[in-house]
Each structure stands twice: as structure tokens, then as C-alpha cells.
Amino acid sequence: MHWHAGLEHILARDVPLAEYTTFGIGGPVDYFLTPSDSGEFARAYAAALRSKLPVYVLGGGSNVLIRDNGIRGVVIRMPKASPDLSSIRGQTVIVDAGLHLGALVRATARVGLAGLEVLVGVPGTVGGALRVNAGGRYGSIGDRVSLVWLVDEMGRVMARRARDIQWGYRQTSITEPITAVEFHLEREPAAAIERRMGEILGEKRSTQPMDYPSAGCFFKNPPGRAAGRLIDESGLKGLSRGGACVSEKHANFIVNKGGATASDVLALAEEVRARVRDRFDTELEPEVRCWPQDGV
Ligand code: EPU
């Protein structure tokens, strides 16, 4: 029996992935699975692993660079979800991992639950954000998580407590796909939370480029330093390779000015790393994940 027997209704072949990423870049994947709920996701994941092909789980596609040749393997898209306010119990909220993070941030603020407003403006899904412990100056998503539901290689869903997970700067110890998350939040008047959200969003809009497709900050900040400042002080704003360009507004953003390929982005990123290394003797590590993973 073929590994995808019984999954034909959610399977497509040779699907170009550019439109599933915020960069708008990426070649085709051999097998693209789009499950409609977490049960189907778990079954699809276990089946895909049986194929022995490389398996990738795609959330909002906001922190990933897919190579131009695409992926010889399987990409499973997280099932879409909408915020379910009936899942709020006191200060605890449980949501599906495929929920858009921005929808969760707005929904919790509206009912007077504080803690996630620091993530306003962060794109992608809840699960994707969790996987890389997304965040910014005011905190990271992991700060508010109490429980995570993960899928094992047999397709079984299991709960893991947040305190049994290691949460680092843009990384976690989670290796399994995430299907649902429980957050513990604080009570506060909605107006106060929404005011703070407006301020944080205003700061982001004034410092970060919103006018071109990108994957957010390209490099992690080295300990105690800001990658954006190092790149800026190396005089690299506006440097470009093909359609990929170091943003004039924030130097740690590589933007797609139109028609950029993954090779353009990778060549530009290498040039940036080399110039920062020469000038500051500091190695920049990419924050954006590259699929397939080898190379930068
Ligand atoms: N700076 C420059 N030139 C630039 C950009 C920045 O000199 O072109 C300087 C700024 O003046 C500031 C320092 O670098 O003194 C840090 O810049 P910023 O305040 O913009 O924050 P950041 O460290 O670059 C981090 C996260 C962002 C997050 C913001 C706001 C990383 C790699 N980046 O940026 O996250 O939105 O804080 O909270 O940790 C992302 O992860 O994709 C991302 C955009």
C-alpha cells in the first residue's frame, strides 16, 4: 500500500510553494498535504514519515526560505483555525496551532486577557511562532505557554508541560509538530492592553519595512548586539543581488523587491555575513530557516 493511501483528498503533487511563504519565493514540493483538522494532520504526519521522504511542516510561511529547486519530499500545511472564545476558561486559553497568531493576539486583548499583546505584528501561525519561540523586544511567545500538544511519529497526540520544554532565543527543544497550545494570561482592562498593542505596532511600523515581501529579521541578534546595527554600520543598506535587497529601513530585513529567487537571497545573505565578519569579527546566524536545510 502506498504511504498516501487514504490521503488522496488532501494531497496535491508538484505544488509551487512561493505563494505559501511571506517572501513569495520557493520552488515546488513533490507532495503537498493540506489536512483540515488536527486529527487529519496527525494521520497525515505519521503517513508522511512512513514514506521515508523528508517531511516539513509549514505554518504561515513567514520564517522560511524555500530553495528554487524546491523540495524532494513532503510538506504538510498546518490546518487553518479560527479563534474559539469558548476555549477561554478564566485566564487560560487553548487554541489550535494553525490559528493565525495575529487573530489570537487581537481576540485575547478584546476580552481583557493580557500577555500576548507583546506579539502584535508578528506574522504566522501560533504553532510556527511557538516552534521558534517568536517574539521581540517585549517578550517571546514561550513566556505565556503552559501546555503544548505534540504529535509523535505514530500520529499520537501527547501533552507536554511548558516547564519540560527548553525555551531559548528564537529556539525551543520541541522537535515534533504542534497541534494545540494552552496559554496562561493575566486579567487587565481591554482598553489598556489595546493601547499598549497600538504603541508596539507603531514602533514596528516606524522601524520595519512593511512595503515589500520578506521573512522578517533575517539574522539572529548575536549576544549583546543588534544584527541590524552591525549590518547598517557595515554600510550594507540597499545592497542587492537580483531582486533581493537589504532593506533601507531596517538592515536586518532582506526584502523581495520583485522576482527575487532563493539563490539571490542566499547570495546576498552570504555577502552580508562576510562583510560583517570582516568588519566586526562577528558571525551572523540566520534566523530564517532554509528548506532543504543544508547551506546557510
Ligand atoms: N538598528 C540600526 N540600523 C538598522 C536597524 C536597527 O542601527 O537598520 C539599531 C536600532 O537603532 C537599535 C538596534 O539596532 O538600536 C535594534 O534594532 P530594533 O530595535 O529594530 O530591534 P531588533 O533587535 O533589530 C528585534 C527582533 C525583531 C522584533 C524587534 C522589535 C531579532 C533578530 N529581531 O529586532 O524580530 O520585531 O526586536 O521587538 O531578534 C523577527 O524575528 O523576524 C523580527 C523582526
Tens-digit pLDDT string for the chain (296 aa): 799 999 999 999 999 999 999 999 999 999 999 999 999 999 999 999 999 999 999 999 999 999 999 999 999 999 999 887 677 889 999 999 999 999 999 999 999 999 999 999 999 999 999 999 999 999 999 999 999 999 999 999 999 999 999 999 999 999 999 999 999 999 999 999 999 999 999 999 999 999 999 999 999 999 999 999 999 999 999 999 999 999 999 999 999 999 999 999 999 999 999 999 999 999 999 999 999 985 43
Please tell me the residue having the least CA distance from ligand 1 atom 20. Answer: 207
pLDDT at 4: 95
Location of C-alpha cell 476580552? 111
Please tell me the residue having the least CA distance from ligand 1 atom 32. Answer: 220
Please tell me the residue having the least CA distance from ligand 1 atom 27. Answer: 136
How many whole angstroms separate alpha carbon 253 and alpha carbon 181?
29
All three cell numbers of 114, joined, read 493580557
Q: Give backbone dihedrals phi and psi of 36, rounded to 5 degrees, phi first.
A: -100, -15
First and final C-alpha spacing in the chain: 37
Contacts 24+ apart (CB under 8 A), 191-200: 192/114, 193/109, 193/112, 193/113, 193/114, 193/117, 194/109, 194/110, 194/117, 196/117, 197/105, 197/109, 197/117, 197/120, 200/117, 200/118, 200/120, 200/121, 200/136, 200/138
Distances (CA, A) of 281 to 223, 269, 271, 275: 13, 16, 14, 9
Catalytic residue, chosen from 117, 144, 182, 217, is 217
Residue (of 228, 273, 226) closest to 247 by Cα position: 228
Give me ligand 1 centre to Cα 202, in Å.
Answer: 14
Give me ligand 1 centre to Cα 264, in Å.
Answer: 23
Q: Is 82 in the pocket of ligand 1 (CB under 6 A)?
A: no
Catalytic residue, chosen from 43, 160, 170, 289, is 170
Mark whether 229 is an active-site residue. Answer: no
The string of pLDDT tens digits covering residues 30-42 is 999 999 999 999 9
Q: Is 221 in the pocket of ligand 1 (CB under 6 A)?
A: yes
Mark whether 283 is an active-site residue. Answer: no
Location of C-alpha cell 510538506? 75
